[in-house]
Amino acid sequence: MKLVKLAIIVAAVTLFATACGDSTSTNQTANAGGAQATPAASPKATATAAATPTPDELAEAKTAYGQFCTACHQDKGEGGMVKIEGKRMKVPSLLEGHGLEHSDAEFTKQIAQGGDGMPAFKDRLNEKQINDLVRYIRRDIQAGVKLKTAGH
């Protein structure tokens, strides 16, 4: 008789536990659904943030530098030995020496008229594009060495 009672209690407890388990898993499903909704919302927020960047007035100059100048002057302006159209030439660094001493006007003239191994760009770039390239060199290429030029 005692055994039967025990069996009923065990059965009842088991049933109860199963019921609980079910309800828990139902909750988890609901939570998972809620969690899915959150990541779906975040890319939207990112897109909104990316849609309103601060426009860089020298973005075009940066592109032009990559298109016309890096072949010789390199991404960071360090120059060095380059091989252009089969000819090897030494390109001076824009980060030291004359690159820091020469004025914006001298830079503008060099870019427009070329010389000493550098081609002229006045037929490919207008005055504003050349001026912007000089500003880009000063602002970004020479960013790390600006302090040294301050006394000049």
| List of residues contacting ligand HEC (CB under 6 A) | 68-69, 71-73, 84, 89, 91-92, 94, 98-99, 102, 106-107, 110-111, 115-119, 121, 133
Shortest Å distance, C-beta 120 to ligand HEC: 10
Task: Report helix, strand or coil for 127.
Answer: helix
CB of 39 to ligand HEC, least distance (A): 44
Q: Which is nearer to ligand HEC, 62 or 102 (CB)?
A: 102
Burial class (CB in 10 A: 0-12, 13-18, 19+), 61: buried
> Mind giving me the DSSP string for 89-148?
EEEPPTTSTHHHHS-HHHHHHHHHH-BTTBPP-TTTS-HHHHHHHHHHIIIIITGGGHHH
| Strand positions, DSSP E, 36-85 | 80-84
CB of 50 to ligand HEC, least distance (A): 30
Judged by CB, which is closer to ligand HEC: 10, or 84? 84
Q: Which is nearer to ligand HEC, 21 or 114 (CB)?
A: 114
* Between 13 and 71, CB nearer to ligand HEC: 71
CB of 146 to ligand HEC, least distance (A): 15
Is residue 76 within 8 A of residue 141, CB to CB? The reply is yes
